[in-house]
A and B are shown apart, each in its own frame.
Chain A
Amino acid sequence: MTETFEKVEDIEIRLLLDALYHRYHYDFRNYAMASIRRRLRQAREQLGFQTISALQESALHDPDLLPVLLRYLTVQVSEMFRDPSYFQAIRDKVIPHLRTYPSLKVWIAGCSSGEELYSFVILFREEGLEERTIFYATDINPEALAQAESGIYDLERVRLFTENHRRAGGKTSLSDYYHSGYNRCVFDKSLRRQVVFSDHSLVTDQVFGEMQFVSCRNVMIYFDRDLQDRAIGLFKDALPRNGFLGLGAKETLRFSAHADAFRDFVREEKIYQRAGT
């Protein structure tokens, strides 16, 4: 009985993802199923639907439900300077290479609510590279992009951000970049001078320029193998020879069709360099 029911639920999930694609052109059909299944169950329970099919019916007929569903389907967990050793490695090993370029483009793919983006901008400012860099911050979730653009975070998170920044070898005080009040902290708008925020999908969109650095961390864990290959193919096309790709701490190119197009640059930090082909 249980097993039959589970299979029905998987059918319902596929139908819902089809519906979202045909109705709104959000394509979650090649997302990793184990996590999607869990989050759609949460959505069903918390939004008070008996079945995923009932949720699907509402999603088709009520556009107001879309942003709510996007909150469940796109994971918004990030922190500034998450994995400080990643940023330390960029500072020590990647920045010396980037210094040799007259102008730079950095792509934060799947920037969510912006914590990773601001970490990069602050790091580049500390290293004197901000002025010659354009940062592209992209995501599919308009709510997350709007939050990234506002640069407003809960004050209680700032202690962690500050500690991470320090452990990442920060040369300034994080408090130089924000002011606080009403339990919020607002990051300085000067940090956004060199930033282009844009709606971009790794699932359906194409490359939009040549980048010297692509950082896409903990985004592709939510994709299946085929979709990972598509995304990594985009990064491969965006990066010139010797361009850099940074992934999440437990993500790897090892199982990708494009593994040969990259070589380890800082192995333990999952920083790769585009090989010449």
Chain B
Amino acid sequence: MMETAGGAVIIGASAGALEALSVILPKLASDFPRPILVIVHVPPDKRSVLASIFDAKCRLRAVEAEDKEPIEAGVIYFAPPDYHLLIEDTKTIALSDEDQVLFSRPSIDVAFESAAEVWGKSLIGIILTGANHDGAQGLKAVAAAGGTVIVQDPDGAYAGAMPQAALAACPQALVLPVDIIASYLQGIAA
């Protein structure tokens, strides 16, 4: 198993997620040194195809997270539909079917807050396009724990509400267009 001491990347996205993630994730090299957790709002009653889409598109392995799964560097974990995704101190996946938060399960806030506890200042939190306010409190928690916070430029986003809410909660966040977010992350690997 690869070391995850280098921290982790967590990404939250909603409406327009597929396009934005398609700019970012396939750019990452096969030796990307951190795990990437992706929380996208997906309908609860459908099987999500996100993991298989990105597994085919990316040089990194993409999976739908399962409960108690050890988190490894260089793997993209998608939160499954109808479950919250949390992270244990042992760096394993913990799923939960607690109540929806802001009408969402998975909730970006819940996952980001949990990841902030585990990785602290070695976490990079990224909020992308979306039409609601989920993720704002979570990004704030990442910043409070000393992590790096990035928000997609609302002007270029498919839906600007989510990045705007994240910026309002977290004004110190780096504001970047998606292609620059991709290069930024790839820079970590270099």
Contact = CB atoms under 8 A, between A and B. Distances in A.
Interface of A: 2-3, 6, 32-35, 37-39, 75, 77, 218, 220-222, 224-225, 228, 248-252, 254-255
B67 A250 contact: yes
14 contacts: A33-B88, A34-B88, A34-B117, A35-B84, A37-B117, A39-B98, A221-B95, A221-B97, A225-B92, A250-B65, A250-B66, A250-B95, A252-B68, A255-B69
A254 B114 CA distance: 24
Contacts of A75: 96-98
A225 B66 CA distance: 13
Contact of A221 (B64, B70, B96): B96
A252 B98 contact: no
B87 interface: yes
3 smallest CB-CB distances across A and B, nearest first, come from A34-B86, A255-B68, A34-B94
Interface string B92-113: 1011111100000000001001
B144 A2 contact: yes
A272 to B, nearest CB: 14
B99 A252 contact: no
B98 A225 contact: no
B156 to A, nearest CB: 33
Nearest to A217: B97
A87 to B, nearest CB: 13
A105 to B, nearest CB: 26
A35 B80 contact: no
A3 B146 CA distance: 10
A174 to B, nearest CB: 17
Contacts of B158: none
